[in-house]
Amino acid sequence: MRKTKLFMDTVIDIQVVTGNTDNKEEAEAAINRAFEQFRRVEQACSRFSPDSELMQVTRVIGKSVQISRYLFGPLMFALEVAKLTYGKFDPSIGKVMEEQGYNRHYLTSSVINSAAADAVTYRDIILDPSAHTLLLKKPLVIDLGAVAKGFSIDLAANELKEFDGFVINAGGDIFAGGMEQEGIPWKVGIQHPEKKEQIVHVFEISNLAVCTSGSYERRNVKVPGMHHIINPETKKSPNELVSSTVIAPYAMIADTFSTAGFLLGADKGKKLLEEVGLRGLFITSDLQFIHVGGNSNDTKKMD
């Protein structure tokens, strides 16, 4: 059983192994619930829709606003990674992204132009975990592009956990649950940064997420060398790496840390992943591999 839909400006492909059992209806209902999670997170976290929760609540400056748990979780995670990387990864980067042309809604083509102060950092975003509130010190645009998709994948995986095998593929960010067949884990290939139809490495995984951040998609059409991953300090795109893959028990971890690793580059990115205890694969611009952490057996029991 398999369905493919568009959310968050990418293609979300969900498949469930139904085997020889006759639970196709059940599988379809679960797949629909999994897609519903993408819809909710997009409605909560998109910076491209003026009517998303994120864009509504960030119009309030200097005052606490209660926010939903679909926004709170990913924002909290983004801020923690920002702290860990001393702002190298920073969700307050939204206005810079807008200015670089990442400002158009993929379905409506409407362009957004938001209010923002000149100099902002993640420290201007204050979350209160007990009250579930957000307080912005300055007008700014929050970008959860490296977090929200991972969070959606985790929620979708939670909807599908009863099945013996399932895969959620959100435009190249993947969670593979259970097994492909009895006793055989899923195989996830890592895309060649230049030859799109080829893969350069294969990971065998079970109940793990594999997310890749790369500079070979979503390039800036106007500015050579620029792409959708931008260093908040220099406002330039780093180009030491062309691909950064992270494997983690949750897609939100893999998604966010693959982007953070890309931003930090080979040496510091490797240190970051080792510090957190993550496994990954970096590919440099001269197509060298850097393997980080882990052993070859990536299976994990699901709760």
Partner 1 sequence: MVKMDKKWVILCSTAVAAAYTSGFYSTETQAVKMESAQHNQISLHTKVQQSGTTGNIANYALNQQNKKAKQKYKDGTFTGSGMNRRGDIQVAVTLRKDKIVDVQISNWGMHYSESDVVDLPGQVIQRQSANVGIVSGATYSTEAFTDAVQDAINQAQNS
Measured from the CB of residue 174, what is the shortest distance to partner 1 in angstroms? Answer: 5
Which residue number, 121 or 158, has a Cβ lying nearer to partner 1?
A: 158
Measured from the CB of residue 183, what is the shortest distance to partner 1 in angstroms? Answer: 13
Which residue number, 22 or 200, has a Cβ lying nearer to partner 1?
A: 200
Residues 6+ apart with CB under 8 A from 8: 38, 41, 42, 46, 148, 149, 152, 170, 171
Measured from the CB of residue 200, what is the shortest distance to partner 1 in angstroms? Answer: 6
Which residue number, 21 or 66, has a Cβ lying nearer to partner 1?
A: 66
| Dihedral sign (CA 52, 55, 59, 61) | positive
Which residue number, 167 or 232, has a Cβ lying nearer to partner 1?
A: 167
Cβ(74)–Cβ(152) below 8 Å: no
Which residue number, 193 or 232, has a Cβ lying nearer to partner 1?
A: 193
* Alpha-carbon dihedral angle through residues 205, 206, 208, 210, given to the nearest 10 degrees: 30
Measured from the CB of residue 189, what is the shortest distance to partner 1 in angstroms? Answer: 4
d(CA 67, CA 57): 8
In our burial notation (b when 16+ CB lie closer than 10 A, e otherwise), range 110-124 reads eebebebeeebbbeb
Measured from the CB of residue 54, what is the shortest distance to partner 1 in angstroms? Answer: 9
DSSP 147-184: THHHHHHHHHHHHHTTSSEEEEEETTEEEEEE-SBTTB
